[in-house]
Amino acid sequence: MNLGYIILIPLIPLAIFLLLGIFNQKIKPSVSGYLCVFGLLFSTMLSFYAAYQYFFESARVNGVYQTFVEKTVWMNFTDTLHIDMGILIDPISVMMLVVVSLVSLMVHVYSRGYMKGDDGYTRFFAFLSLFSFSMYGLVLATNLFQIYIFWELVGVSSYLLIGYYYTRESAVAAAKKAFVVTRFADLGFLIGILIVGYYTGSFDFETLNNPGGSAILNWASTSFMGLSALTWALILIFVGGAGKSAMFPLHIWLPDAMEGPTPVSALIHAATMVVAGIYLVARLFPMYYFVEDGFALRIVAFVGAFSALFAAIIAITQTDIKRVLAFSTMSQLGYMMLALGVSGYQGHEGLGYMASMFHLFTHAIFKALLFLCAGSVIHAVHSNYLKDMGGLRKYMPITNITFLIAALAIAGIPPFAGFWSKDEILAASFEHNKLIYFVGIFVAGLTAFYMFRIYFGIFWGKETKYAETPHESPFSMTFPLVVLALLSLGGGFIPFSEYVTADKAGFEAHIDYPLAAIAVAVGLMGIALAWVFYKKETVLADRFANLFGVFYKWTSDKFYFDEIYLFVARNILFKRVAEPIARFDKKYVDGTMAGIGFKTVWTSQKIKGLQSGKIQDYAFAFISGVVIIALVFIYLWNN
């Protein structure tokens, strides 16, 4: 099977990025927009063709999907340890290709309308292309180092796009925060990679993930502080993944990242880049599962479950609609993590893995849709805050309907896409860990509640007087909304379990009716509660908030995590650690160097008289030297 053309999928956005980046000022905005959209359209078509070819043509041998790798050696350390560059084709990478292409294309189309008239139009599209390239590269990576390189590249493009409005101070601060926090997490990732390389002698996913291979079988060979070294490595790699996927406690950058333009939030901070952490764990899933009987995987499950709950609670109290969506994203990412954490490997045991990937797929679609709808609303009313919105359903019918579809999807109401994937996740966690299941079902209710809170707040609620009458967005913005809404409607009917599973063999997944009924009932309850509170303007919600008093305040201040981090950074790291070190550096390290310099100048000033420039002095020195040497030799000769 020839899959060589897949290399074109990342290379097209790269070429466009270089083109737009180099000729930034010379390209007309309209041209750059079209160039990007058509370039990405081509990539998307290739991705879909690749998916078709992979899943429906010849990739299946005896019911198991084969893995295809094409690579060249890039850096050679030893015969076995080398860094390759290449592409790896297996079910999850093909699935991710489709997700990234689809959302990216929709966001590109949407951005042409949303960013119209902006000064940095071409720059924006150049960065988007850079991001698409890096994300494709990350998805297709064949080994840990390659994934790390592209991991950093998506981090950079995320940084550039969050700080896109660089004249705004908050945007710059948010960009820096996102970069620093994820970099901090990536330190763990890097150390993990090095440990894996040291103990297994390989970076290759194929070698590492082979359940019968030496990497997995010999996990117990070295232990460190009660755990095997490989478990530590996996935990550290998960730290990197948690940083990218905004898992507690490294989540603080994601809400601030909403400073970027809304299409960017939809593409990077909802659908694609933030799922890189989940993708990473899924990529190394056999290792996580088999090493030390899945100790690292249990950590993944609990961190995921806690993040899901934590973020969902905060989301209820936020008033900036983009921030609500950001916390919702974090919560749903926690869902995916916990699904991976409770998954097994063989056949139906691998339900969690499949559910996680399924949820990644559906979530990418409906969360991107939610963000794009939010962008459309913000475009119309020029504000991010719920208090400036209300009654918009009359002015923006398409946005209203599509937002409703997406909200129903995320709330897990059948037959929308989110129902199917969320149901699988709950079923998987029910089988493995009841505690996580209850967290999951509670979060499902919260999700439905906060999502309909903002839905009613935006489109129903109080009649707000607008300075200028809001109007529906242009076709270039509503078209992606409609496409994504249709996918949110139908995406759940894809029989995912036949295509994307942990052991790549495929199985028959069934709806567990009692569990599904509970989940739907909880979702409906959340919606009903939101209906009561926010459908019409009432004081009920405020009164209810007062009931919780301090707790409400804590929640709306995000449990003061930003402040804690600031305190730790400013008062402990800066004052107690960085400042003494800086003083030491200035006084002793710098001082020594400066002292050497001063001494040199001083000495040279003292001896510069020797170089008089008088030929007779030199002659005198020369001749005296000759005479002295002659005397010495004569003396030695005589003895």
Q: Write out the residues near another protein by the rule CB under 8 A.
A: 613-614, 616, 619-620, 623
The nearer residue to another protein, 611 or 638, going by C-beta atoms, is: 611
Nearer residue to another protein within complex by CB, 31 or 619: 619
611 vs 639, which CB is nearer to another protein? 611
Residues in the chain: 639
CA distance 287 to 280: 11
Neighbours of 554 (CB within 10 A): 15
| Max Cα-Cα span within the chain | 120
Query: With respect to another protein, which residue has the nearer C-beta, 598 or 620?
Result: 620
For another protein, give the closer residue by CB, 8 or 619: 619
DSSP 8-state symbol, 559: G
455, 353 Cβ separation under 8 angstroms? no
Q: Which is nearer to another protein, 52 or 618 (CB)?
A: 618
- Shortest reach from residue 612's CB to another protein, in Å: 9
Which residue reads 């290709």 in tokens?
Answer: 97
| Residues pairing with 227 in the sheet | 224
Residue 623 Cβ, how far from another protein at the closest point, in Å? 6
Of the pair 465, 614, the CB lying nearest another protein is at 614
The number of CA neighbours under 13 Å toward the Cβ of 556 is: 11
Closest CA to 104 of 4, 17, 183: 17
Contacts of residue 225, Cβ cutoff 8 Å, sequence gap at least 6: 232
Residue 76: exposure state from Cβ atoms within 10 A (0-12, 13-18, ≥19): exposed
Instruction: In angstroms, give the least distance from the CB of 569 to another protein.
Output: 58
Region for residue 72 given its phi and psi (left: phi exceeds 0; alpha: psi -120 to 50; beta: otherwise): beta
Element (H, E) at 178: helix 169-200
Give 70-77 contacts, CB < 8 A, sequence gap 24+: 70/3, 70/4, 70/7, 71/142
Give the nearer residue to another protein in terms of CB position, either 606 or 614.
614
Distance, CA of 66 to CA of 86 (rounded, Å): 17
Half-sphere exposure of 538 toward its Cβ, with a 13 Å CA cutoff?
Answer: 15
Which is closer to another protein, CB of 539 or CB of 615? Answer: 615
Distance, CA of 585 to CA of 280 (rounded, Å): 39
Using the structure block, give the residue that is written with the tokens 């449990």.
559
85's CB contacts (< 8 A; 6+ apart) are 71, 72, 74, 142, 146
- Name every residue whose Cβ is closer than 8 Å to that of residue 560 and which is 6 or more positions away in sequence: 554
Q: Residue 169 Cβ, how far from another protein at the closest point, in Å?
A: 56
Report the nearest approach of another protein to the CB of residue 626 (Å): 10
Minimum distance, C-beta of residue 586 to another protein, in the bound complex (Å): 40
Minimum distance of another protein from residue 601's CB (angstroms): 22
Comparing CA positions, the residue from 511, 484, 483, 485 lying closest to residue 497 is 511
CB closer to another protein, 397 vs 625 = 625
Instruction: State in angstroms the smallest separation of the CB of 604 from another protein.
Output: 18
Cα 362 from Cα 284, distance rounded (Å): 22
Q: How far is the CB of 74 from another protein (least distance, A)?
A: 58
CA 315 to chain centre: 19
Which of 601/627 has CB closer to another protein? 627
As measured in angstroms, the least distance from the Cβ of 613 to another protein is 4
**Minimal distance in Å, beta carbon 619 to another protein?**
6
Contact (Cβ atoms closer than 8 angstroms) between residue 324 and residue 454? yes
CB nearer to another protein: give 465 or 608.
Answer: 608
Smallest distance, Å, CB 616 to another protein?
5
Interatomic CA distance for residues 376 and 387, integer angstroms: 17
Distance from C-alpha of 242 to C-alpha of 234, rounded to nearest angstrom: 12
Q: Which is nearer to another protein, 56 or 622 (CB)?
A: 622
- Three-state secondary-structure class, residue 77: coil
The residue (of 61 and 634) whose beta carbon lies closer to another protein is 634
Q: Are the C-beta atoms of residues 138 and 150 closer than 8 Å to each other?
A: yes
User: For 545, how many CA atoms within 13 A lie in the half-sphere containing its CB?
Assistant: 16
From CA 459, how far away is CA 223, in angstroms rounded? 57
Nearer to another protein, 26 or 608 (CB): 608
Q: Residue 571 half-sphere exposure, CB side, CA atoms within 13 Å?
A: 6
Least distance in angstroms from the C-beta of 631 to another protein:
14
Give min distance, CB of 615 to another protein, in A. Answer: 8
CB of 618: closest distance to another protein in angstroms?
Answer: 10
Cα torsion for 56, 58, 61, 63, to the nearest 10°? 10
Query: Contact at 8 Å (CB) between 396 and 380?
Result: yes
Distance in Å, CB of 603 to another protein, minimum: 23
Q: Which is nearer to another protein, 573 or 631 (CB)?
A: 631
